[in-house]
């Protein structure tokens, strides 16, 4: 009899705790984020995480009556590791939403994500075709094609007729190179050398020497922003700026976090991109001041991609009243329009980001280097490219 009572109360406790756990699980929305926090792209991943966390700190971690839990994993810039973490987050942690990550991780996981129907907000990857790999992909970062073509038009107009392309040897680099090349040749430019540099532990020196030997008027460069400081240092050490060779490219080489320490060699460098810390909107001014106060550094485009990615998740949960199934959330994300620190931003019906691309030149403002916007291409879609 006693044993029967004991068993009965144990069963009651167990079912009560299961019920509480179930209720808690229902009240929580889990976002599983896989980013490079170590390895070649560590700086980029950390910036996206900082942007996402900063959004949560400003807006609270409760949305549509649900508590948002952010689970962050480090893929160490290794695509297979990223895929394994995405799988574990889906299967073991039972996340509702995925926040990705680099192109390699997401290409490797697209089939898995589609099968699991997990809405996946791409907050870093910048390759155009990635968005087509799963109906559950939605992007708040950018594509390299969006910003690379307009640099070609500008270069030809400025009389830069002989260029060396200089890109990191991975899919975003190939996209920057191909888009620039297509447009530049059509506009009448001449590409005298195409150089690709390995992603892992790059030493730019021998590649820069090759570029210099080709005697170009400019180098069209895309390297991940995480490596831009080293590139500029080695470019200057070789006296390439003094030899009159211009650096041009997508904004990754003029990364806002690194720019203050790159030195005056960057003055006058022209790039095209979707975000500058000097974007002159009241919203961006407030954002930059608040982020700088909180983190001690200037926000860059990766920070904004993470910040906006989190905004999109909050908006979608608000629209869905906290319903988290993949189809509902992706439908809620598509068509969303908002004012971002980058300017007006929206998600199109394919799930891709639509935003302004700005031409910028580097100038000193208040003793610090900034990307000053001088021309705007409005609402540039993927795979549309900004052209004159």
* Residue ranges that bind ligand PHB, judged by CB under 6 A: 41, 44, 102-103, 124-127, 172, 224-225, 252
CB of 143 to ligand PHB, least distance (A): 9
8-state DSSP, 382: S
Distances 261 to 41, 228, 240 between C-alpha atoms, Å? 19, 11, 18
Alpha helix ranges (H) inside 33-170: 42-59, 79-91, 103-116, 144-157
Distance CA(269)–CA(31), nearest Å, equals 38
Distance CA(329)–CA(49), nearest Å, equals 21
- Residue 95 or residue 106: which is nearer to ligand PHB going by CB? 106
- Residue 274 or residue 314: which is nearer to ligand PHB going by CB? 274
- Residue 252 or residue 373: which is nearer to ligand PHB going by CB? 252
Nearest-5° angle of CA 194, CA 305, CA 177?
Answer: 10
CB of 75 to ligand PHB, least distance (A): 11
* Tokens (6 digits) for 69: 């839990």
- Residue 216 or residue 229: which is nearer to ligand PHB going by CB? 229
- Residue 175 or residue 241: which is nearer to ligand PHB going by CB? 175
CB of 348 to ligand PHB, least distance (A): 19
CB of 126 to ligand PHB, least distance (A): 4
- Residue 156 or residue 262: which is nearer to ligand PHB going by CB? 262
Spatial contact of 236 and 265, defined as CB atoms under 8 Å apart: yes
CB of 44 to ligand PHB, least distance (A): 5
How far out from the chain centre does Cα 290 lie? 20
* Tokens (6 digits) for 186: 């059509």
**Phi/psi of residue 72, nearest 5 degrees:** -110, 130
CB of 314 to ligand PHB, least distance (A): 24
């Amino acid at each position: 009899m006693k044993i029967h009572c004991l068993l009965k109360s144990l069963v009651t406790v167990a079912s009560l705790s299961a019920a509480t756990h179930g209720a808690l699980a229902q009240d929580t929305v889990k976002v599983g984020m896989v980013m490079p926090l170590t390895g070649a792209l560590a700086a980029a991943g950390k910036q996206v995480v900082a942007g996402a966390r900063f959004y949560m700190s400003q807006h609270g971690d409760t949305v549509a009556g649900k508590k948002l839990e952010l689970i962050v994993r480090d893929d160490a810039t290794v695509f297979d590791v990223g895929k394994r973490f995405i799988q574990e987050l889906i299967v073991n942690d039972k996340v509702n939403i995925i926040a990705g990550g680099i192109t390699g991780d997401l290409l490797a996981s697209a089939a898995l994500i589609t099968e699991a129907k997990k809405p996946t907000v791409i907050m870093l990857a910048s390759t155009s075709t990635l968005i087509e790999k799963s109906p559950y992909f939605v992007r708040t970062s950018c594509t390299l094609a969006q910003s690379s073509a307009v640099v070609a038009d500008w270069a030809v107009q400025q009389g830069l007729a002989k260029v060396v392309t200089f890109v990191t040897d991975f899919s975003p680099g190939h996209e920057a190179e191909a888009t620039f090349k297509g447009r530049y040749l059509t506009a009448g430019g001449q590409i005298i050398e195409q150089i690709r540099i390995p992603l892992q532990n790059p030493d730019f020196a021998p590649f820069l020497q090759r570029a210099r030997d080709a005697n170009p008027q400019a180098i069209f460069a895309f390297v991940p922003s995480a490596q831009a400081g080293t590139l500029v240092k080695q470019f200057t050490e070789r006296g390439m700026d003094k030899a009159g060779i211009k650096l041009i490219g997508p904004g990754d080489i003029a990364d806002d976090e690194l720019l203050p320490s790159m030195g005056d060699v960057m003055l006058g460098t022209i790039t095209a991109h979707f975000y500058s810390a000097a974007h002159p909107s009241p919203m961006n001014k407030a954002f930059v001041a608040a982020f700088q106060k909180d983190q001690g550094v200037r926000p860059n485009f990766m920070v904004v991609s993470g910040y906006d990615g989190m905004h999109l998740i909050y908006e979608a949960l608000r629209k869905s009243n906290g319903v988290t199934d993949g189809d509902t959330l992706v439908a809620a994300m598509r068509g969303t329009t908002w004012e971002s620190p980058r300017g007006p931003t929206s998600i199109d019906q394919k799930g891709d980001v639509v935003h302004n691309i700005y031409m910028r030149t580097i100038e000193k403002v208040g003793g610090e280097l900034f990307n000053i916007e001088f021309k705007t291409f409005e609402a540039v879609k993927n795979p549309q490219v900004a052209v004159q």
